[in-house]
Amino acid sequence: MKKLKLENASYSVLLSNYKEWLDILGYAETTVYNLPNHLREFFYWLECQKRTDINHITAQDVTNYYKVLKERSNQRIDGALSKSYLNKHQQALKKFREYLIQHNAKTPLRVHLKSETQPTEERINILTQSEIKELFAACNYSNKRQCIRIRDKALLTIFYSCGLRRNEAVHLDIKDVLFDKQRIYVRKGKNYKERFVPINKYNLSILEEYIYDGRPDFNIKNNTEALLLNQHGTRLQGMSFANRLQAIVAATENKIIIEKYITPHTLRHSIATHLLQKEVPLESIKHFLGHSSLESTQIYTHLLKTITNENR
């Protein structure tokens, strides 16, 4: 259903913003991927009903759509859609209602549907500062090879301490670590926007140890300037980051950390939340993360409130 083409420009913008909202709030990657696809189906159905203004959507529209889903055949196997799949559609609409309310919509979507089974609420994946310390400590025994253990700690520094996105980390070169200025130069930011990320002396020392003591053991090929190298001596790619992070997580042997399903983006969300907890100004966090608008950064304010309420 992700291939359904929307004609309504406002629906397309809402869909994109909704996905970014879920992502910034720190939901699991599968949730960030699936819920917008379910919402796309709803928008497509609305277009077929000639309903093109989100402010005019009624509770009856939602009910009618849900009836259509219950009667629709499963496109992959024989029979109807599963109860869990129907509940995912409900969750997508309920989360979208939350999005509309937070963004001061004139008439937030009305969703009053009974779940087919007991729903399982998606938890936001944010690490505490003590859990972050456990990850760094686990790098002392995360692999038999010392060079990989040193690189593991450098990875955590790049994703947590510097808050970089996965693609930004992939394209880092040695020369992008500006030791004299205590900055990381991000040349491949989102939408090709460049920025400088501050990094303190302690975290610089972690990168320095990797560059001089760990990186040379990766059999560097073709004199590459890539900062993070794989076992073949070439630039480390995105999936390898995720794999090494899972190895670090497993090394902690902490069940709570393991069950959080941590990705590189989880570390980025975590540092943003921790900065907010320390009352760092939103404008500073915006520049640190490379957000194009303050609105994206403000979502972390809601995230912090959610985490606070969960811990009460």
For residue 62, give every residue at least 6 positions away whose Cβ sits within 8 Å of its Cβ, in sequence order, or none: 93, 109, 110, 111, 112, 113
Every domain of the chain and the residues it spans: 9-102, 129-310
Specify the DSSP element, H or E, that contains 196. strand 195-198
Class of domain 129-310: mainly alpha
Predicted local distance difference test score (pLDDT) of residue 190: 67
Specify the DSSP element, H or E, that contains 270. helix 264-277
Answer whether 143's CB lies under 8 Å from 282's CB.
Answer: no
Q: Distance between CA atoms of 297 and 19, rounded to whole angstroms?
A: 14
What architecture does CATH give domain 9-102? Orthogonal Bundle (1.10)
Q: Is the whole-model pTM more than 0.75?
A: no
**pLDDT, greater one: 21 or 250:** 250
Query: Which residues are annotated as catalytic?
Result: 165, 190, 265, 268, 291, 300
Find the distance separating the first CA and the last CA of the chain, reported in whole Å: 39
Count of CB atoms situated within 10 Å of the CB of 3: 6
For residue 117, give every residue at least 6 positions away whose Cβ sits within 8 Å of its Cβ, in sequence order, or none: 83, 84, 87
Whole-number Cα distances in Å, 24 to 27, 32, 278 = 8, 9, 19
Specify the DSSP element, H or E, that contains 149. helix 146-156
Band of residue 76 on the pLDDT scale cut at 50, 70, 90: very low
The string of pLDDT tens digits covering residues 226-244 is 999 998 899 998 889 989 9
Q: Distance between CA atoms of 36 and 95, rounded to whole angstroms?
A: 10
The string of pLDDT tens digits covering residues 245-301 is 999 999 999 999 998 888 888 899 899 999 999 999 999 999 999 887 787 787 777
Task: Output the six-digit token pair for 12.
Answer: 């397309």
Q: Going by DSSP bridges, is the β-strand pair 183-186/177-178 parallel, antiparallel, or unpaired? A: antiparallel
Looking at the predicted structure, is the pLDDT value of residue 25 above 90? no
